[in-house]
A = this chain, B = another copy of it.
Amino acid sequence: MKSGLALLVVALSVATGLTAAFAESVPDAPPIAIAIHGGAGTMNRADLTDEKEQAIREALSLALQAGHKQLAQGESAVSAVEAAIVVLENSPLFNAGHGAVFNSGGAHELDAAIMDGRTRNAGAIAGVGHIRNPILLAGEVMTASPHVMLAGAGAEEFAVSQGFELVENDYFSTEFRRQQLERAQAEQTSRNSLPPPELRFGTVGAVALDQDGNIAAGTSTGGMTNKRFGRIGDVPVIGAGTYADNETCAVSATGHGEYFIRSVVAHDIAALMRYSDKSLQEAVDEVVLEKLVEFGGSGGVISINRQGDIVMEHNTPGMYRGAIDTSGRLTTAIYKDE
C-alpha cells in the first residue's frame, strides 16, 4: 500500500517536475539511498528538445525507482544497483545495452562492472556483444566465478554456462547511434584519432546504500563511438570507473575513460577519504574538479557512503543523473547549474 502510494507520487512527479518526495522516511529505519548517472558530456540546453529532456528525466526516475524498490524491500545494495542499471541498459536513450554506440565495424561491444562494498568482491566483463544486460553478467562473474574480469567470447561462454540467453548483436542497435557512427567516421580523419568530444562518452551507473549498511557500485557502457582495436575503457577497470568499499565509498564514473584509468579515479576518491580523512564531498571535489581537470580528463562521478551521503560531481557542462536520498526525496538533473 505504502509503496503503491509512493509509486503514484513518483508517477505524478515525473509527469510534472523534477523533484518529488519518493517515499516518506520511516523514523528509526536504517537509511537507504541510491544515485545513478546516464553519462557526462557536452550536453547543453540548446541541444536537447523538451521532449528528449523529459524522456531522459523519466527514464532516470524509473531507474531510481527500480533500484529504490529493492532497497525498500530489504534487498542488497548490489541488487539495487543491478535493478537500476537494467532499466538504463534497456532504455535506448543511454549508451549501454539497447542504444549502445557502434564500434568502427558497425557492431556493439559492451563493458560492465559491479563491486560489493561489503566484501570488496567484484565482477567485470569487457567486449561482449550478445548479453542483453551486461550488468547482470558482471554480477554473475562476481558471485559465481573465482575471477573478477572476463573478456569477449570467453565471457559469453561463461554466460551460457550460467544459463544466460544470448541476443543478436543488432538488439543493441538504434538509428540515432548509427547516425552518430556515420558522423564520427566522417570527422575522424586519422586511424588513431578520437571521435568528436560529444561522441566520446556515454555510460550508465549506479551506487546504493542498503538497510544493512552495505554500499555497492556498478557501471555499464557501449564504450566510445567508432572505437577500434578492442579498446577497453575505464568501466570494467576496478578502481578506475567502478569501486566500492564499505569503509569509504562506492563510486561509478563516466567520462573520457583513458584519463580515468590513468588517474585510478574511483580508488583515488576512496584513498583520499581513508588516508587524508576527507569527507566524500571533499574527496570527490578534489579528484573530479581539481586533479582530473588539471590532467585533462573530462567527466564525472556519482558516489555514496555508508551514511547515505550522495555526491554527484562533473567537470563537463552536463551529466545525466538522479538520486533518491535517505529522506526519500527523488531528484533528477542534467546541467551543471541544477
Contact = CB atoms under 8 A, between A and B. Distances in A.
Interface of A: 115, 120-122, 126-127, 144-155, 157-158, 161, 191-194, 228-233, 237-240, 243, 257-258, 261-264, 267-268, 271-272, 274-276, 295
B149 A151 contact: no
Given A155-B230, A229-B158, A271-B267, A261 B122 contact: yes
26 contacts: A115-B262, A120-B295, A121-B262, A126-B151, A127-B151, A127-B152, A145-B192, A146-B192, A146-B193, A146-B194, A147-B229, A149-B232, A149-B237, A151-B152, A151-B232, A155-B229, A158-B229, A238-B264, A239-B240, A239-B261, A239-B264, A239-B267, A267-B268, A268-B271, A271-B274, A276-B276
Contacts of A263: 120
Given A151-B126, A158-B229, A146 B191 contact: no
Contact of A231 (B144, B149, B272): B149
Contact of A275 (B154, B276, B295): B276
Contact of A229 (B121, B145, B267): B145
Contact of A148 (B146, B243, B261): B261
Nearest to A104: B154
A70 B265 CA distance: 32
B155 A262 contact: no
Contacts of A126: 126, 151, 232
A267 B115 CA distance: 17
Given A120-B262, A264-B239, A231 B147 contact: yes
A125 to B, nearest CB: 9
In the complex, the count of this chain's copies comes to 2
Contact of A262 (B145, B148, B258): B148
Contacts of A120: 262-263, 295
A192 B140 CA distance: 12
A258 B191 contact: no
Could you say which of A127, A158, A192, A237 has the most chain B C-beta atoms within 10 Å of its C-beta? A237
A152 B231 CA distance: 9
Residue of A152, A232, A276 with most chain B CB atoms under a 10 A cut-off: A232
A264 B262 contact: no
Given A115-B262, A275-B276, 17 more contacts: A126-B232, A127-B152, A144-B192, A147-B258, A148-B261, A150-B230, A151-B231, A152-B230, A154-B228, A157-B230, A237-B239, A238-B261, A238-B262, A239-B267, A264-B264, A272-B275, A274-B275
Contact of A228 (B158, B230, B268, B295): B158
Contacts of A271: 267-268, 271, 274-275
Given A228-B158, A229-B154, A149 B268 contact: no
Nearest to A144: B192
